[in-house]
Chains A and B, each alone.
Chain A
Amino acid sequence: MIEVRNLTKRYGNKLALSDVSFTVEDGEVLGLLGPNGAGKSTTMNIMTGNLSATGGSVSIGGHDILEEPIAAKKQLGYLPELPPLYPDMTVEEYLRFVYGLKRCRLPRAKHLEEVCEAAQIGDVRRRVIKNLSKGYRQRIGVAQALIGAPEVLILDEPTVGLDPRQMMEIRTLIRGLGKKHTVILSSHILSEVQAVCDRVVVINRGKLIADDTPEHLSRRLGGNHLRLVVEASEEEVRQSLNAIPGVKKVEIIPWSEEGCVCAEVESLEAADLRRAVSGCAAAKGWPLLELGAAEMSLENIFLQLTGEGEEK
């Protein structure tokens, strides 16, 4: 179990983290979501002993990271924002170095084989790291974190720089890891966090603004937003949709196709409008081209979450 209590970090006058607390249960996959500069990396750097906090404490499996650093770090695998690779070494040399550094006791050849397989870098083990692509380097970074089979994995934006297929693979890998390890990963992509995590902690400007399951979070955020594209006139669409009971607001969004209208419908809380909206389109005889949940941008999410925070 990981406990983060009242974490505060100041850089001179700038407050980078303010009173952040959360816990992660064993075997849980926790997502740390926030825009760039929100304090995700700072939090992770403090959790791994790379940075010290101005106030608050971090304990990993009951060991405080400052009081008992060796015991705490033994349980850690960390992938920093920039994979900590030595470019002049080969992948094999590097992994052996990490194996020694972590004082790993598992049988070496077999363990490194497994790690390489999990991170899918088996085919480049003899190559020099500086000649490898960014995707490979990122995966070597993941492999490095896996060495020693640590109980806790802390991954700072593990899918950055990967192509979509590799992203999917890494997500699947993390999902699988979540069965045996406790995983904390940071991301600024909502859908990624939703796909992988059991729980999400949202940080903005150094403050924790939400701590919830992805389902609850998306219900709170995007669940009451529908987006549809129909072939009809703008005014007609606006009027008809507004007439549906449970509709709070209808917004018309510019759309490139001729004669088509895109509308975003915001419902009152707890109302599921999908049937009513498609029914309305059918009744009016509009060809319905698209209907789905509106994707919210991260900016909107933070605006909404922080807005909610202020109301309370």
Chain B
Amino acid sequence: MTAIYKRELMSYFITPIGYVYLAVFWLLAGYQFTVLLLSGSGDLASEFSFLFTVVLLLTPILTMRLMSEDRRQKTDQILFSAPVTLTGIVAGKYFAAVTVYLMGIAITLVHAVVMAGYAPVNWAVLGGNILGISLMGMAGIAICMFVSAQTENQIIAAIGGLAAMLLVLALNGLAAMVPFPWLRTLLASISFFNRYHNLTLGLFRVADLVFFASFAGIFFFLTSRVLDHRRWSGR
């Protein structure tokens, strides 16, 4: 697993994709931070709610080649014939993407330190925000990785990932319109938006964190099932 993790992480930075991802992420976060400073506000919450959209748009780019590229290049054969479990293969890839994602998120800490020079920063709320966006991103990466495992085409993986992200992140919009109360509750509870929104406000609920973590867990498991299934069906 460590070898796969290292290789995946390395491949983000021997191809431009890792640099481009981080540059764009930092640029957008920096843009919102600048807006925040110019408006004279000292509250980083608005940066985090803006990052929600950034994560939605950029995560599929981060994960699009995670599974699909190996399948297209047939390099998955070296992984499958090596003494690693399927879970080990998926975990190595997943945590490589998560690492790059966290590198992107880390910019908010820099912003907070800069902010601390001018206005008091509530570090507990900031910690909650960072934990929240990390977990939400990890759930998103797991869904997009699952999508990437369905195809050998990166573009399809990216578009499919974007669609999946939009759906789970914005299900609350649909939930508000549904006439059946039980379905409304269900959709609203799957939607990432409310849960993440609470976190940016400093409402720290264990249930939300558990939700994101289990969401990531489910799609992580499903991805390893997809790989296993392909062995049975003969790709």
Contacts and interface: CB of A to CB of B under 8 A. Distances in A.
A57 to B, nearest CB: 15
B3 A100 contact: yes
A51 B6 contact: no
B83 A74 contact: yes
A89 B14 contact: yes
B81 A98 contact: no
Interface residues of B, number: 26
Interface string A94-105: 000111111100
B6 A100 contact: yes
Interface string B69-83: 000011111111111
Contact of A84 (B73, B84, B85): B73
B234 interface: yes
Contacts of A70: 83-85
Contacts, number: 80
Interface in A67-81: 69-71, 73-74, 76, 78, 80
B65 to A, nearest CB: 11
B7 interface: yes
Interface residues of A, number: 33
Nearest to B228: A52
B212 to A, nearest CB: 31
B203 to A, nearest CB: 43
Contacts of A144: 78
Contacts of B80: 48-50
B14 A84 contact: no
B7 A97 contact: yes
A82 B73 CA distance: 9
B11 interface: yes
Contact of A73 (B15, B75, B81, B231): B81
Nearest to B78: A84
A144 B3 CA distance: 14
B11 to A, nearest CB: 7
B55 interface: no
A50 B10 contact: no
Interface in A89-125: 89, 93, 97-103
A84 to B, nearest CB: 4
Given A102-B83, A103-B83, A97 B3 contact: yes
Contacts of B231: 49-52
A9 B6 CA distance: 35
A49 B77 CA distance: 9
A85 interface: yes
A88 B16 CA distance: 11
B14 A98 contact: no
A76 B73 contact: no
B41 interface: no
In the complex, the 10 A-B pairs of residues with the closest C-beta atoms, listed nearest first: A100-B3, A84-B78, A48-B81, A101-B3, A78-B81, A73-B83, A84-B75, A80-B77, A74-B83, A50-B80
